[in-house]
Chain A
Amino acid sequence: MAKVLVKGNEAIAQAAINAGCQCYFGYPITPQSEIGEYMGAHLPEMGRNFITAESELASINMVIGAGTTGTKAMTSSSSCGIALMQEAISAMCCAEVPGVIVSVMRGGPGLGNIAPAQGDYFQAVKGGGNGDYKTIVLSPSTVQEAIDLTYRAFYLSLKYRNPVMLLADGLLGQMMEPADFGEYPYKDPDVSTWALNGADNRPARNIVSLHMPEGELEQLSNRIFEKYEKIKKEETTYEGFMLEDAKLVLTAFGTVGRIAKSAVLKARGEGMKVGLFRPVTLFPFPEKQLNDVAKNADMVLDLELNQGQMLLDVRSSVFGACPVEFYGRSGGGMLTPDMIFEKVKELYAAINKTKVGVK
């Protein structure tokens, strides 16, 4: 298929349709309303389901209903709307219900503003809901990657019977870029062994998240965390850019990753050995991979559109292999390639100065 010029939000919606998403349940919120609009325009005429729900609570619980039948379903929202879904996401992890949640971040806390931001890293990756659980979180930095990761989100969700969140921001949602939809590249697993469709010639099944008998929940928790270990082993992905000889390694996720890339190229142009490490899966976080890179670097600079959230995962991955610095803006403030370049220049000079001093 040829490349088309497409808006991020609409690309995610079309990719979901291509992935076989049978149901979209959502509630409007800026800056992702185009996803619901696109689904509303296309799903019903394809004989699929579209509901503008009464709230985000309702949307995500409709996704649960669809998920219990093994049907591909999706909802989308932004920051405060995703906050309302947290109880259900926790329940999905416990009851092992698949479903795709698109989170197009805006400025926060509170109603915040509608500018692009990355303040919901903790919400997505650490989980705003109750109990021990993990949501698989995929972070696109381009419209093309948003398409590819939407495909992957549906696949992983069914494969692991776990909710998958596509974590984008308002910048990606609103920008237009050329992208190639290709085709949904995965072979979906068989759901007939667990999905609810009536107890016909088999014992009745249940998909619930309450486990009262002593020891039952602990057993379940252990099994689910074994699953998370498998996910860590098999699904962790990241992008490395000019890392081979990098003395200063930038870390960034999502759209900041692409902005940082421009800064890396500019720094390389001035002879500085700078590279970029961009996690694509935020859970599972590429801990070992980043640690390996940090062992050969003099410093890591973490860049985010928040006050330092992924920073905690970066620090624990680097695990003292080298110093970790942070540079970010929040509340909807944007990092530009020039701003990052200036910070890189300052830190790169400091690294060299320290080295001279040691010698």
Chain B
Amino acid sequence: MAETLVYKRPESLLKDGHFTFCPGCGHGVVLKIIAELIDEFNLQKDTIAISSVGCSIFLEKFFNLDVAGASHGRSPCVATGVKRCKPDKFVFTYQGDGDAATIGFNETIHTACRGEHISMIMINNTNFGMTGGQASATTLVGQVTTTTPKGRKAELTGYPLHAAEIVAKCDGTAYCARVAITDSKNIRQAKAAIKKAFEAQLNGLGFGFVEVLAACPTNWHMTPVESVKHIEEVTEKIHCLGVFKDVTVQEKV
């Protein structure tokens, strides 16, 4: 029997929307995963996406979804307002580490503690990408950025913030994981994690959070291939991959 392989562009992506990210950037991969999952859940007509500030900002240029913009770090608040008014709609935020873990970490934590029924995707490329690669809260010790030209020094600026581990400690969090998108296997696992976070909302379990380690070759001054290697060999040693909370598993035990 002949096998037909069909690739269909997700309905949740605009037909004429082209990703405008740098070569090797992780954003496009994650945005596509999100669009595929929204299609899978048949939620395109019932979704309100919340954009943020940074390279994560232009959601309305890619998604065939309603989009509300938020000020820097405040996407979880805008999402809270939307979800409380439209509890039957699917609401997610898409943010970077500068937005969700640096300027907006207070909002991230409190939204998790309140157990808002929203899903939050945080791309962690350990720097402020859009402004040209400055150090963020998640920057690794020793990492060279434009504001730490000799590498981040712990004695001067402390240590990287581990967002997923902290969010997992919040009682309102239903699902929390850190994933990477360095290869096909990882991308499939990332998709499974984001699906879990979406299900936490759809099943009324609580707050879903997925931190995605992603490459920023332009600001890291690496090739895309070197960036992937860097994530695997360096970043993952500090920002460890894993599922830090899953209430569906805990319930089964």
Q: Which residues of A contact B (CB under 8 A)?
A: 22-23, 25, 49, 51, 53-55, 57-59, 61-69, 71, 73, 87-88, 91, 95, 196-201, 204-210
A199/B44 contact (C-beta < 8 A), A69-B86, A208-B68 known: yes
> Which parts of B78-100 form the interface with A (CB within 8 Å)?
78-86, 89
Q: Using known A-B contacts A23-B81, A210-B57, determine if residue A205 contacts B66 with beta carbons closer than 8 Å.
A: yes
Query: Does B70 reach chain A (CB closer than 8 Å)?
Result: yes
Stretch at the interface among B28-36, B46-54, B170-178, B224-232: B46-54
**Which residues of A lie under 8 Å from residue B48 when comparing CB positions?**
68-69, 196-198
Known contacts A22-B85, A51-B84; is A64 also within 8 Å of B78 by CB?
yes
Nearest A-chain residue to B103, judged by Cβ: A57
Sample (16) of A-B pairs whose CB atoms are under 8 Å apart: A54-B109, A59-B77, A64-B68, A64-B78, A65-B68, A65-B79, A65-B80, A66-B82, A66-B85, A73-B85, A91-B71, A198-B46, A199-B44, A204-B63, A206-B60, A207-B69
Contact (Cβ within 8 A) A88 B71: yes
Count how many pairs of residues, one from A and one from B, have CB atoms less than 8 Å apart in the complex.
132
Shortest B130–chain A CB gap in Å is 11
B residues in contact with A54, CB < 8 Å? 106-107, 109-110
B residues lining the A interface (CB < 8 Å): 14, 44-48, 50-51, 57, 59-60, 63-71, 74, 77-86, 89, 106-107, 109-110, 114
Residue on A nearest B75 in the bound complex, by CB: A61
Smallest CB separation, A158 vs chain B (Å): 14
The 8 Å CB contact of B66, one of A53, A58, A67, A204, is A204
- Residues in chain B near residue A205, CB distance under 8 A: 66-67
Residue of A nearest to B91 (CB): A65
Tell me whether A69 and B82 are in contact in the complex, defined as CB-CB below 8 angstroms, given that A88-B71, A209-B69 are known contacts: yes
Closest to A22 in B: B85
Check B45 against A198 for contact (C-beta < 8 Å). Answer: yes
Complex CA–CA separation, A51 to B79 (angstroms) = 13
**Pairwise interchain contact A61-B69, C-beta atoms closer than 8 A:** no
Chain B residues whose CB sits within 8 angstroms of the CB of A88 once the complex forms: 71, 74
Distance in Å: Cβ of B191 to nearest Cβ of chain A: 23
Return the contact of B64 from the options A23, A66, A68, A199 (Cβ within 8 A).
Answer: A199
> What are the 6 tightest A-B residue pairs by CB atom distance, in nearest-first order?
A65-B81, A208-B69, A61-B77, A206-B60, A61-B74, A200-B45
B67 partner residues in chain A, CB cutoff 8 A: 196, 204-208
Bound complex: CA of A176 vs CA of B26, how far in Å? 59
Tell me which of A67, A91, A201, A210 contacts B81 (CB under 8 A). Answer: A67
7 A-B pairs besides A61-B78, A91-B69 with CB distance below 8 A are A53-B77, A59-B77, A61-B70, A65-B77, A66-B84, A69-B81, A197-B48
Contacts of A68 in B (CB 8 A): 48, 68, 78, 81-82
Contacts of A22 in B (CB 8 A): 85
